[in-house]
Amino acid sequence: MKPTDILKEEHHGVKLALKVLGRINERIAANPGALDAAYVSDCAKLLDFFRVFVDKCHHAKEEEVLFPALLESGLPREGGPVQAMLAEHDTGRRLVAEMYAALADYRSGTPGAVTDLAAAAQRYTQLLVNHIATEDNILYPLADAGIPQPVQDGMVEAFEEIETDRIGLGTHEQFHAMLKEFKSAYLK
């Protein structure tokens, strides 16, 4: 398996999580006065997925392994796609923090929290959908073609190390099981 195949596979999970996030937000917004503990708890679980799996694991694989290899293969450090992707990762982190804050406000009954949550979720979704399309269609093909095979093999090993070190063994599988449950609960 190529390193970019692993990342693309992870993108599928991220896109599924974004769809569920949209659905949960619709349900919270449909009845903003009545706090539904189940939706709030599922939303919090999704935010943990974005913070832990997407940022600590997927983005770390890109920032610490893929992007350096792309720069090594000749892509510009500044003004190129790598810099643009890094900036989008930063924006994503900020939006996840905004969603956590809005969810906490909603839990404590702050007026307007539902609107803030929906707005941040919408911006995050738009950002990530475009980001994933750019990586899948532009950046990853550049990696497949430009990074020497032995380096690509080493990248797969480095991905495994990141996964074990940063999120721990089994966490990836736990998140996948959660997404599978959410898929059947929210996306039927």
Contacts with Fe ion, residue ranges (CB under 5 A) = 62, 85, 135
Our CB check for Fe ion shows the closer of 106 and 140 to be 140
Our CB check for Fe ion shows the closer of 117 and 155 to be 155
Q: How far is 35 from 12, CA to CA, in rounded Å?
A: 30
CB of 112 to Fe ion, least distance (A): 31
CB of 53 to Fe ion, least distance (A): 11
Q: How far is 167 from 171, CA to CA, in rounded Å?
A: 6
Q: How far is 59 from 129, CA to CA, in rounded Å?
A: 14
Our CB check for Fe ion shows the closer of 67 and 106 to be 67
CB of 138 to Fe ion, least distance (A): 12
Our CB check for Fe ion shows the closer of 3 and 47 to be 3
CB of 135 to Fe ion, least distance (A): 5
User: Could you identify the residue written with the tokens 């398996």?
Assistant: 1
Q: How far is 90 from 75, CA to CA, in rounded Å?
A: 20
Q: How far is 74 from 162, CA to CA, in rounded Å?
A: 24
